[in-house]
Amino acid sequence: MASLKEMRNRIASVKATQKITKAMQMVAAAKLRRSQDAAMGARPYASRMAAAIANLAAGVSGDSAPKMLAGTGSDQRQLVVVATSDRGLAGGFNSNIVRAARDHIVALTNEGKTVSIITVGKKALAPLRRQFGDKIVASYEAGAKPSLDAALAIASDIAELFESGQVDVVSLFYSRFKSVVQQIPTNKRLIPASVEAGTEPIDLKGAAYEYEPAEDELLDVLLPRNLNVQVFSAMLENQAGFYASQMAAMDNATRNAGDMIKAYTIQYNRTRQAQITKELIEIISGAEAL
């Protein structure tokens, strides 16, 4: 059985840990509001971009359709982009994204596909490198705050791999922020460009529009920009989901630390009472012997 001094040290250690987890919870809660606003603010832009592309795509077909929209006609070479955070202590936030991406990569490999991987975030690189180290072609840090420049660098790398003919299909794995208690690991196809379910084309109210320049020329400009938007939006969604998960995880850790302190305190008091009782018995027995 631990001595009273050891038990006091344990209680002091858990109390110190509880202060840290409480502070981290409060910091995550403060940052969550700004991150949530940023993620929600990016959704309408991404949605309208998808709607505009849907309108333009309706006017092109066959050989006139850009490669990013029509694809290469093959799905043999797959690029999987896995976006997580750089930091942990957020429950299963990062591991859920990595698990979904790993299952997808394994399924593609079993089908005989050639798979390449780009990681965004340190928590994606470490676990995937152990299993798929030879498939990783590039890695990026998520950074403390998502920026359009960082998203542009990632999107440019993806576009270059596609334009050079090294990949046919590009998929992005990230966590979509739904609520403070729920984040959904999501697989979004970036190339060939796809319109999300529920996205409606812009209502032209029966008017017939002639585009200048033509639809295919507009798509040549909009599709790379849409790639930047989708990557940036995913990074914003990830940041909001990370702080929500970290806030919940630190809240649970703080509660667990409180339970441990109570249990250790009860054990300490019982042990101390037993020692006092034992000493009293020894004193009384010694006095009676005299």
The pLDDT, as a whole number, for residue 287 is 74
What is the reported pLDDT for 278? Answer: 82
pLDDT given at position 88: 85
- First-to-last alpha carbon distance for the chain, in angstroms, is 33
Please, which residues bridge with residue 120 across strands? 83, 140
Give the pLDDT score at 199.
54
Q: pLDDT digit string (tens) for 22-53?
A: 999 999 999 998 898 888 888 888 777 777 77
**Assigned token pair, 5:** 């001094």
Phi/psi at 140 (nearest 5 deg)? -135, 155
| pLDDT of res. 205 | 62
Cβ-Cβ contacts under 8 Å for 59 (sequence gap 6 or more): 211, 215
pLDDT score for 63: 62
Using CA atoms, how far residue 83 sits from 39, 231, 234, in Å, is 15, 9, 8
Angle at 91 between CA 265 and CA 26, to 5 degrees: 70
Q: pLDDT tens, 122-159?
A: 999 989 998 898 899 999 998 888 888 889 999 999 98
Parallel, antiparallel, or unpaired for β 136-140 and 114-120? parallel
pLDDT band of 179, cuts 50, 70, 90: confident
* Percent with pLDDT over 90 in the chain: 38
Residue 6 confidence class, pLDDT cut points 50, 70, 90: confident
Q: Helix, strand, coil shares of the chain as percentages rounded to 5?
A: 65, 15, 25
